[in-house]
Structure 1
Amino acid sequence: MFKSIKTGVLAAILISTAIVAHAQKKIAEGTITYTSEYHPTAEQEGAIAMLPTEVKTKLNGNLMKFSFETGPATITIVQNFVEHNGLTLIDVPVAQMQLAVKMDKAAFEKEMAKAPKFSDFKATGEKKMMGAYNAEKYTYKDDKGTAYELWTTNDVELPAGYFGEQFKDVKGTLVKYTTFQQTVKTTYTLKGITEEKVGALSLEVPKGYELKTMEEIMAMQGGGE
């Protein structure tokens, strides 16, 4: 059980560190949904079972929130994507367990240091409709020289910093792009953006949750996977 929880926590953190120019519509509060397509190596096949196939994020100002299930646990991340701090909540009803982990800027930078570095973003001029969005193709590469492509749109604008440090040099809102989650190559495709009230988001630890460090979470042991 604890193995699946720990894998899920790491996946959630990496997703939140991974997921802005002149646009027709600015979104400050709403729901953003991406689908996830994984491209694992043979050794990574088992790991992708712990990763979500859809990421639905609630946005309010500079705070975003998303949840997914992994094994017996529900994991929720709330993150300030401008100040780079956040909160991870772990709910395991069958074990009557509610844990909280705070992430500061130093922990964020530590996780980002493990991720591949992207650079050389170039607009190709190629354009097409992708779903409801007018999109333009970019090319880019990682620090090993591997080439990638992404599609971005100026039809809608999300707050600056929403897509993280890796894609800060790309103008607009990412419609389709490739990055890595727990070293697994992953392609995200925008499913939809809904402008709506989502309510206040907070980085405060809710009542009833036991505050832990990430090191304490990773050291937890238990039966099962």
Structure 2
Amino acid sequence: MLKSIKTGVLAAILVSTAIFAHAQKKITEGTVTFGVEYSLTPEQEPMAAMLPTESKIKFNGNISRMEMQQGPATITVFANVADLTSLVLIDVPVAQMQFAVKGTKADYDKEKANDPKFSEFKATGEKKKILDYNAEKYTYKDDKGGTYELWATTDIELPAGLVGRDFKDIKGTPIKFTTFNRGVKSTATLKSLVEEKAGPFTLDVPKGYEVKTMEEIMAMQGGGQ
């Protein structure tokens, strides 16, 4: 029953944290949707079918919420983009299972430890529109020899850290960018941003959920625990 949940949980975390970042219109709550493309190594190819091509994140202040369906399981990731704490809820109704995994800043730092570190952000002066937003192109590098580009806009301002956390030195909100999470390379492009009521959200564990560590979740196989 839980055979595919291990990869599904990983996929949910990859997408949600990959989307974890100034400007004229400040938006404090709503829904942001990104299209996501992946550049996978041969070792990562088995998870390709599990990785969604779209990421829809609801946010209210510093807390975001993302949900995805993985087989019989619904996986919901809540994240505080200010202090880097998180809560992953796993619901498997057919098996009457409800698990909760709490994450700390130390957990986040550990997950990101081996990912490339970005630097040398440079505005190129090249501009274009992405959706209805005026964007400027930036180039940047990582500490492993890679080179990249991103597009950022100053038309909008989202909660700090929500979009492109790796790009806090950019003067604007990244709306197309390449990043890594747990070694997985992805490029996200803004598809829509809707200012609307969302939440409020909390990182408190709901009643009825069994608290487990991520190691315990990843160790689950078949119908066992």
TM-score computed with the length of structure 1 as normaliser: 0.92
Tell me the equivalent position of 1:71.
Answer: 71
Instruction: Tell me the distance in 1 between the aligned counterparts of 2:3 and 2:83.
Output: 30
Preserved CA contact (<8 Å) 2:111 2:181: no
| In structure 1, distance between residues paired with 2:179 and 2:50 | 17
Is the 2:114–2:182 contact (alpha carbons within 8 Å) kept by the matching residues of 1? no
Tell me what 2:30 maps to.
30
AA partner of residue 155 (structure 1): D
Task: Tell me if 1:9 matches 2:14.
Answer: no
Q: Which moved more, 1:195-204 or 1:2-11?
A: 2-11
The answer for unaligned runs of 5 or more in structure 1 is: none
Q: Which amino acid aligns with 2:104?
A: D
Give secondary structure in 1 for the equivalent of 2:52: coil
SS at match of 1:174: strand
- Mean Cα deviation higher: 131-140 or 158-167: 158-167
Q: How does 1:1-225 map to 2 (within 5 A)?
A: 1-19=1-19, 21=22, 23-163=23-163, 165-222=165-222
Change (3 A) 1:89 1:31: same
2 CA distance for matches of 1:139 and 1:87? Answer: 33
SS in 2 for 1:42: coil
Q: CA deviation at 1:182?
A: 4.0
Aligned residues with identical type, % of pairs: 65
Which sits farther off after the overlay, 114-123 or 53-62? 114-123
What RMSD in Å do the two structures reach over aligned CA positions? 1.8
Deviation at 1:3, TM superposition (A): 4.0
1:179, CA displacement in angstroms? 1.2
Q: Deviations over 1:39-59 (max 9, x none)?
A: 223343221211111111011
- Output the CA distance in 1 between the equivalents of 2:107 and 2:208: 24
Unaligned ranges ≥5, structure 2:
none
Measure the CA separation in 2 of the matches of 1:51 and 1:71. 13
State TM-score, norm by structure 2: 0.92
Q: CA deviation at 1:159?
A: 1.2
> Is contact 2:100-2:210 (8 Å) kept?
yes
Q: Distance in 2 between matches of 1:143 and 1:71?
A: 37
CA distance, structure 1, for counterparts of residue 144 and residue 80 of structure 2: 30
Please give the secondary structure, in 1, of the residue aligned with 2:113: helix
Give SS of 2:204's match: coil
CA distances 1:49-103 after superposition (whole Å, capped 9, x unpaired): 1111111101101000001122321110001010110100011122111100000
Q: Which moved more, 1:214-223 or 1:137-146?
A: 214-223
Instruction: Give the AA of the match of 2:107.
Output: A
Which amino acid in the other structure matches residue 111 of structure 1? E
Letter in 1 for 2:102: K
Measured after TM superposition, the shift of residue 37 of structure 1 is 1.0
Q: Is the alpha carbon distance of 1:114 and 1:9 closer, same or farther for their aligned partners in structure 2, counting shifts above 3 Å?
A: farther
Change (3 A) 1:145 1:54: same
